[in-house]
Amino acid sequence: MLSIATFNLYNLGAKASPTRLVRLGIIVTRDLGGPDILAVQEITAVDRALPGGAVPADASYQALIAAILQAGGPHYVFREIPPLANQDGGMTGANIRVGLLFNPATVNFTDRGNAGPEDSVGIRFSHRQPSLTINPGRITPAHPAFAGDNQCHWAPSRKTLAAEFEVQGQRLFVIVCHFKSMRSTTRREEDYAKKQRHAQAEIVHGFAADLLACDPQAAIVVLGDLNDGLGSKTLKLLKGDSFHNLLEEMPRGQGYTRRHGGQPQTLDHILVSPVLRRGAVVRVPHVNSNAAHGEPDPASDHDPVVAVLPKWVYSAPL
């Protein structure tokens, strides 16, 4: 069995208050059960960029990892590809990005290559199995759907991170997403943002579908803050005919992950390939969305989503 979760951390940086970090450590440890793999969104870094323009967030990850360890959770390590300064959207100057925490005692991660923020990950096919050309790597970061396009009225957005793990001798692909924000001031802006999310969903689905074309038994998880709800066109494009959204199996009214104006929304999702669907169990601890409105220094404005996945076997073991 493998546990995997997604959590939007609401612009979390190294200078977050001790109280907030303590609460996050408790959520990951107690409410999520210290998942083997934790996909995160909205990790921030405001420090000076490296010579190439990238802005790493090592201190932010280490602050979170220390808080989890202090709460009795696993001693995680992290992987990310730092974005170029002010090129991934979100709060001005925060340089938010997606990343991965994982427990090296339960899953293995082999770094491959040294990808930069503008490098695109590919798929290599060998011994009847797909693998990533770089690990981790970004999926088409220069595509207008992610890099922005003035003609389409698309702003730069978070890039999607693909990673390859080994779990008990089996390969697992994890794709972490944070699609274009729903935030808009006019109906026209809302429409532009929807179309950008649709394009992002098509790109990510295409990459995941290519992995499945190489091996129909490939174990693939696509997860993150997709900024769209169940039944939306974004989710339909991302799922296609091959992937299943685990939140669709939750009882009606329980799968929400955020509140806007007091109304529940399901924005954070975990999708799996066919080999992982049977026996998978998902839950949403409502640790943030049901908190008192206006609570000072909230842990996040999103709830995490955690899934326990069944043991799977590839057609050709590693």
Domain coverage including residue 124: 2-309
Q: In the structure, what pLDDT confidence band is assigned to residue 315 with cuts at 50, 70 and 90?
A: very low
Q: Which of 117, 1, 105, 112 is nearest to 49 (CA)?
A: 117
What pLDDT is attached to residue 189? 86
What pLDDT is attached to residue 311? 82
What pLDDT is attached to residue 254? 87
| Residue 104: inside a domain | yes
Residue pLDDT, tens place only, 145-185: 999 999 999 999 999 999 999 998 899 999 999 999 987 77
What pLDDT is attached to residue 178? 98
Window from 5-9, 27-31, 123-127 with minimum mean pLDDT? 123-127
| Residue 314: inside a domain | no
| Residue 36: inside a domain | yes
Residue pLDDT, tens place only, 224-264: 999 999 999 999 999 999 999 999 998 888 889 998 777 88
Is residue 242 within 8 Å of 220, Cβ to Cβ?
Answer: no
H or E stretch covering 11: strand 2-12
Q: How many domains does the chain fold into?
A: 1
| Residue 315: inside a domain | no
| Residue 318: inside a domain | no
Six-digit token pair at 50?
């490296």
| Distance (Å) of CA 280 to CA 29, 123, 270 | 20, 26, 11
Which residues make Cβ contacts (< 8 Å) with residue 26, sequence separation at least 6?
A: 71
Q: What pTM, to 2 d.p., does this model score?
A: 0.95
Six-digit token pair at 294?
């206006």
| Residue 316: inside a domain | no
Residue 237, domain CATH: 3.60.10.10
Q: What is the mean pLDDT of residues 50-79?
A: 94
Residue pLDDT, tens place only, 13-62: 999 999 999 999 999 999 999 999 999 999 999 767 777 788 999 999 99
* Distance in angstroms (rounded) separating the CA atoms of residues 12 and 44: 6
Q: What angle, rounded to 10 degrees, do the helices at 18-26 and 58-70 form?
A: 60
| Residue 139: inside a domain | yes
| Residue 317: inside a domain | no
Is residue 24 within 8 Å of 67, Cβ to Cβ?
Answer: yes
What pLDDT is attached to residue 314? 54
